[in-house]
Amino acid sequence: MSTSEPIAVRANPPAVLDLPPVHLELTWRPLSIHDAPALATLVQAVETVDRSHRRTSPGEVEQLLRGEWKDLSRDSLGGFDDGGALRAFAVVEVRPGDERTLRAFLTGAVHPQWRGRGIGRAVLSWMEGRGRQMLAASGKDLPARLAVYVDEAARDQRRLYAAAGFSPVRWYRDMRRDLRAPVTPPSVPEGLRIVPWCPSLDERVRLAHNETFADHWGSEPQTRETWKAHGGHFAPDWSFVVVDERSGTEEVAAYLLSGRYEQTWATRGYSYGYTELLGVREAWRSQGLAIALLASAMLAYRADGMQYASLSVDTANPSGAHDLYARLGYEATHGEVLYSVEI
């Protein structure tokens, strides 16, 4: 199908979105914020049985259901057994800031005790259909994508998406760096200064992030709403900004934002600080700012007793980030795959 056609045509949305069939023995209805505790219980069971390297906190689960741009009454689904327990779920999200590629993110799971009955295929079919409807209704005539992130080791899930016509298009590698190893003290050129993140800098950091990642595959602008929404585990004490004071004002040149994921430490067997976002604006590149920010974060992690510094990198990143991290002592631990249907 040509991308010159309107998104309403290209997305090929179903006119009617059917619920999963009754023979699956679950009752289906949209989720609400009041379902967050039950959803957290379901997600925990899935991650434990699947031996996932991640552990999703109740706060992250609630975050999945919150957002001014989300309509849970239309864009979510829960499957409940006769006892009222949540056994499967689906959430589809299209973020408001997308300007280059319109993305429908699919998130869903089935309780391990209810697998092997066709529920996973039915949930995926519903998510794909709803995603296509949301893309078609967006009015944005852009390239579009149905997207889902899958743990690299989750072979059953990967087969499920492949069978449904999704293709692996991007690989992301989690890496860690032992903080017992020496850390070179951070330094920046004269006129620049590394400062702790603070609320008064946050909007400028958001704008700097949108500018920095404008040419990165899969990245889209963050609106004020989505920028706030991903901060449930934001660690301000581990986050830093490089400001350029040479013009008489504090202009953001680079930034590093960290997260604290304590719920995952026991699963991984070590504590760590996680670098969520790292960016250097084009005019300030090739001056060692990324290295200085990573060193600042490592020292902050270590000062708080963390054993490792951790981050994730797109293995196809053309900026050479993967090689930079390797030179700084980061080693690969596990991976995640983005499966998509390109529209």
CATH number, domain of 83, equals: 3.40.630.30
Cα–Cα distance measured from residue 45 to residue 110, given in angstroms and rounded to the nearest whole number: 10
Mean pLDDT of the residues in the chain? 95
Give how many domains the chain has, as a whole number.
2
**Does 131 lie in the same domain as 28?**
yes
**Does 190 lie in the same domain as 98?**
no
**Does 180 lie in the same domain as 152?**
no
Question: Quick one: how many helices (H) and strands (E) in the chain?
Answer: 11, 12
Last residue of a domain, one of 165, 198, 222: 165
Q: Helix-strand-coil percent breakdown of the chain, rounded to 5?
A: 35, 25, 35
pLDDT tens-digit map of 5-47 = 899 999 999 999 999 999 999 999 999 999 999 999 999 999 9
**Does 200 lie in the same domain as 290?**
yes
Q: Is residue 341 part of a domain?
A: no
Cα–Cα distance measured from residue 97 to residue 290, given in angstroms and rounded to the nearest whole number: 26
Backbone angles phi, psi at 267, to 5 degrees: -60, -45
Q: Is residue 2 part of a domain?
A: no
Last residue of a domain, one of 165, 182, 214: 165
**Does 76 lie in the same domain as 59?**
yes
**Does 251 lie in the same domain as 154?**
no
**Does 325 lie in the same domain as 249?**
yes
Tokens 């070590």 -> residue: 270
* 88 CB neighbour count, 10 Å cutoff: 27
Q: Is residue 195 part of a domain?
A: yes
- Encode the chain (343 residues) as per-residue pLDDT tens digits: 456 789 999 999 999 999 999 999 999 999 999 999 999 999 999 999 999 988 999 999 999 999 999 999 999 999 999 999 999 999 999 999 999 999 999 999 999 999 999 999 999 999 999 999 999 999 999 999 999 999 998 999 999 999 999 999 999 999 999 999 999 999 999 999 999 999 999 999 999 999 999 988 889 999 999 998 567 799 999 999 999 999 888 899 999 999 999 999 999 999 999 999 999 999 999 999 999 999 999 999 999 999 999 999 998 877 778 889 999 999 999 999 999 999 9
Cα–Cα distance measured from residue 302 to residue 178, given in angstroms and rounded to the nearest whole number: 10
Cα–Cα distance measured from residue 327 to residue 331, given in angstroms and rounded to the nearest whole number: 10
Last residue of a domain, one of 99, 134, 165: 165
Is there a contact between 21 and 29 (Cβ–Cβ < 8 Å)? Answer: no
Q: Is residue 1 part of a domain?
A: no
pLDDT tens-digit map of 108-122 = 999 999 999 999 999
Rg (CA), the chain: 21
Q: Is residue 213 part of a domain?
A: yes
CA dihedral for 115, 128, 231, 182, sign (positive or negative): positive
Task: Tell me the CA distances in angstroms from 284 to 186, 208, 239, 249, one per residue in order.
Answer: 16, 12, 19, 16
* CA atoms within 13 Å, Cβ hemisphere of 153: 12
Cα–Cα distance measured from residue 322 to residue 320, given in angstroms and rounded to the nearest whole number: 5
Strand order in the sheet with 272-280: 27-29, 76-80, 86-94, 102-110, 144-151, 331-342, 167-178, 308-314, 272-280, 251-259, 240-244, 192-196
Looking only at the bridges linking them, the beta strands covering 27-29 and 331-342 are unpaired
**Does 200 lie in the same domain as 106?**
no
Q: Is residue 303 part of a domain?
A: yes
Cα–Cα distance measured from residue 127 to residue 146, given in angstroms and rounded to the nearest whole number: 9
Tokens, residue 118: 């066709």
Q: Is residue 340 part of a domain?
A: no
Give the total residue count for the chain: 343
pLDDT tens-digit map of 176-197 = 999 999 999 999 999 999 999 9
SS3 category, 124: helix
Element (H, E) at 265: helix 262-268
Q: Is residue 343 part of a domain?
A: no
Range of the domain at 193: 174-335
**Does 230 lie in the same domain as 83?**
no
Cα–Cα distance measured from residue 124 to residue 43, given in angstroms and rounded to the nearest whole number: 16
**Does 274 lie in the same domain as 240?**
yes
**Does 189 lie in the same domain as 139?**
no
**Does 289 lie in the same domain as 232?**
yes
Percent of the chain having pLDDT more than 70?
A: 98
Tokens, residue 202: 């946050």
At 1 the pLDDT is: 47
